């Protein structure tokens, strides 16, 4: 339509909007306002039947997972429960802004408040530190979560994560990548909200990342990139002669210590009053902890112990204040096979405040030395030994501080065996830090007695498979003169419930070594 102005000039009045490849502002705002409702409806329709459990994450990120983990955008728990099964010692916070999804997590048969804290939170608008102690989380996982957030709010999410992440902690990302088949289909359906951001038919949204966009997002908020990789898998549908490209992106980012220090300085805190952030600051936010008195049943024994409750296990730096899961398993093996320690000298490495294996061994061994590198842990151990003095010969148990690899400390402990070394060396859940594994075997080799025709000394390690691959453990053992004994499963009595100890596929492992001549 033309409107004449005078005789020499005309202008065009536009009645219809110009063609565009993006949806209207009205729909864009509607999808934003109704994001929570649309995801809640998604979980109402699909419950826990849509996404598969992510059992591959331990292989991708196993070396990062430990301590406290926060899963943001947890959905119905497809990341939560595989991680809990693979890493028995972690505590997992899990949040989603869909109340229905969080309820499904809590209804899961494997859900336990002792190991999981699930809550509803919109991380684009609500402060995570209102739900989780500041600077207390070791790892944050974002698995197909960031893509559901408007690009304008992604930086706010990263800033929010920093409030609960420890200095030196990691954010692990897995999400959709540009060029994915789904992006191509959404482009053809005119569902584009903005560049690389699309609305699906059910109202949920998806952003498709490039390596640069993911890198810029995290580096812009003070993170260091450890890796960003785009993966591609081709899926062939032969009946339709189609080849479909599925693409996803994976990133690992570390929160710099210096970034937190600069935040202190911005807030007017003098550098000389700063806390040493290299050790983590979780202790600043500890609840009012108290040790619990509890009874533990191992075989026919009723053992009284004072220890830290599991719900607090990741809020303190000391690892020896609680009962680790592999200790009852090895104690049960010792009880069922008394000949392993009968009349022998025994030393336990990393015994913790309970030293369960040392306590069980004292019934049959001639001497037991329980060692740990933490003096406070050993003080509590002495209390626990006294609590059980009426049922065990605890006077046979000597408590000694030992830092692995320290020559003077190793020689001091070895001297307790009358100087010739120990017949049996024990360790439970002591192989979860890769850097310490060689020191463990160096220490064990120094303490163990030489092989002889009269006595074949043994090293027994029991643990749940975690961040350190068993191949690396065996390589370190061989490098320090230990040979793996594979016939033990036919020689020992394996109590009911511990059959998986002898399986290379079981999460609980018993490694039986002899020192080489």
Residues 211 and 112 in one domain: yes
* Residue that wins the pLDDT comparison between 477 and 287: 477
Q: How far apart are CA 497 and CA 482, in angstroms?
A: 28
Residues 236 and 89 in one domain: yes
Q: How far apart are CA 493 and CA 56, in angstroms?
A: 34
Residues 352 and 205 in one domain: no
Whether residue 297 is contained in a domain is answered as: no
Closest among 232, 182, 241, 177 to 209, alpha carbons compared: 177
- Of the three residues 263, 297, 316, the one that is the final residue of a domain is 263
Whether residue 273 is contained in a domain is answered as: no
Whether residue 494 is contained in a domain is answered as: yes
Residues 232 and 372 in one domain: no
pLDDT tens-digit map of 42-89 = 888 887 777 788 878 888 888 889 889 999 999 999 999 999 988 988
Residues 259 and 341 in one domain: no
Residues 94 and 176 in one domain: yes
* Residue that wins the pLDDT comparison between 473 and 502: 473
Query: How many domains is the chain built from?
Result: 2
* Nearest-10 crossing angle of helices 470-479, 437-447: 40
| CATH code for the domain in which residue 501 is found | 3.40.50.150
- Of the three residues 263, 280, 310, the one that is the final residue of a domain is 263
Residues 355 and 445 in one domain: yes
| Cβ-contact 247, 176 below 8 angstroms | yes
Domain range for 101: 25-263
Q: How far apart are CA 162 and CA 249, in angstroms?
A: 21
Residues 241 and 373 in one domain: no
Structure tokens at 489: 């499963």
Residues 33 and 169 in one domain: yes
Residues near 386 by beta carbon (within 8 Å), at least 6 away in sequence? 394
| Cβ-contact 431, 473 below 8 angstroms | yes
Per-residue model confidence (pLDDT) at position 277: 29
CB count within 10 Å of CB 234 equals 9
| Cβ-contact 104, 47 below 8 angstroms | yes
Residues 173 and 50 in one domain: yes
Q: State the pairing for strand pair 458-464/424-428.
A: parallel
Closest among 388, 399, 386 to 360, alpha carbons compared: 388
Query: Residues in the chain, how many?
Result: 517
- Of the three residues 213, 248, 263, the one that is the final residue of a domain is 263
| Cβ-contact 474, 431 below 8 angstroms | no
pLDDT tens-digit map of 284-330 = 233 344 577 778 888 788 888 887 765 555 455 566 777 777 899 99
Residue percentage of the chain with pLDDT more than 70: 84
Residues 210 and 98 in one domain: yes
Residues 143 and 238 in one domain: yes
């Amino acid at each position: 339509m033309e409107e004449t102005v005078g005789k020499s000039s005309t202008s065009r009045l536009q009645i219809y909007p110009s063609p565009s490849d993006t949806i209207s502002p009205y729909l864009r705002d509607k999808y934003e306002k109704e994001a929570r409702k649309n995801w809640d409806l998604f979980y109402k329709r699909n419950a826990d039947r849509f996404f598969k459990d992510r059992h591959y994450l331990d292989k991708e990120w196993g070396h990062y997972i430990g301590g406290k983990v926060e899963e943001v955008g947890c959905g119905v728990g497809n990341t939560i429960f595989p991680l809990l099964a693979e890493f028995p010692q972690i505590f997992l916070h899990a949040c989603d802004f869909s109340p229905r999804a969080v309820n499904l997590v809590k209804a899961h048969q494997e859900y336990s408040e002792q190991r999981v804290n699930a809550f509803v939170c919109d991380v684009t608008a609500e402060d995570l530190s209102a739900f989780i102690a500041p600077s207390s989380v070791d790892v944050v996982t974002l698995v197909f979560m960031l893509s559901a957030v408007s690009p304008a709010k992604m930086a706010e999410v990263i800033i929010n994560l920093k409030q609960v992440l420890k200095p030196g902690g990691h954010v692990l990302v897995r999400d959709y990548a540009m060029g994915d088949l789904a992006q191509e289909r959404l482009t053809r359906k005119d569902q584009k909200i903005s560049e690389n951001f699309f609305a699906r038919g059910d109202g949920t949204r998806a952003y498709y990342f490039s390596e640069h966009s993911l890198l810029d997002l995290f580096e812009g908020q003070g993170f260091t990139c450890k890796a960003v990789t785009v993966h591609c898998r081709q899926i062939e549908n032969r009946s339709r002669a189609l080849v479909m490209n599925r693409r996803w992106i994976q990133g690992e980012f570390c929160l710099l210590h210096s970034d937190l220090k600069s935040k202190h300085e911005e807030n007017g805190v003098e550098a000389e009053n700063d806390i040493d952030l290299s050790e983590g600051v979780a202790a600043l936010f500890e609840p009012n902890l108290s040790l619990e008195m509890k009874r533990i049943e191992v075989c026919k024994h009723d053992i009284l112990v004072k220890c830290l409750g599991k719900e607090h296990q990741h809020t303190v730096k000391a690892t020896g204040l609680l009962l680790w899961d592999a200790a009852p398993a090895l104690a049960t093996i010792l009880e069922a096979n008394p000949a392993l320690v009968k009349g022998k000298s025994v030393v336990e490495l990393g015994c913790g405040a309970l030293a369960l294996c040392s306590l069980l061994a004292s019934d049959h061994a001639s001497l037991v030395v329980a060692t740990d590198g933490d003096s406070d842990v050993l003080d509590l151990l002495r209390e626990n030994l006294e609590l059980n003095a009426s049922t065990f010969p605890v006077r046979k148990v000597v408590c000694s501080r030992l830092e692995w690899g320290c020559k003077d400390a190793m020689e001091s402990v070895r001297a307790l065996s009358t100087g010739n070394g120990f017949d049996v060396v024990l360790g439970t859940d002591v192989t979860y830090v890769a850097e310490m594994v060689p020191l463990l075997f160096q220490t064990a080799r120094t303490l163990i007695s030489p092989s002889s025709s009269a006595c074949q000394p043994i090293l027994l390690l029991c643990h749940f498979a975690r961040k350190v691959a068993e191949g690396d453990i065996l390589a370190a053992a061989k490098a320090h003169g230990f040979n793996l004994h594979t016939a033990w499963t036919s020689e020992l009595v394996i109590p009911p419930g511990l059959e998986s100890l002898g399986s290379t596929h079981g999460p609980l492992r018993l490694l039986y070594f002899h020192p080489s001549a």
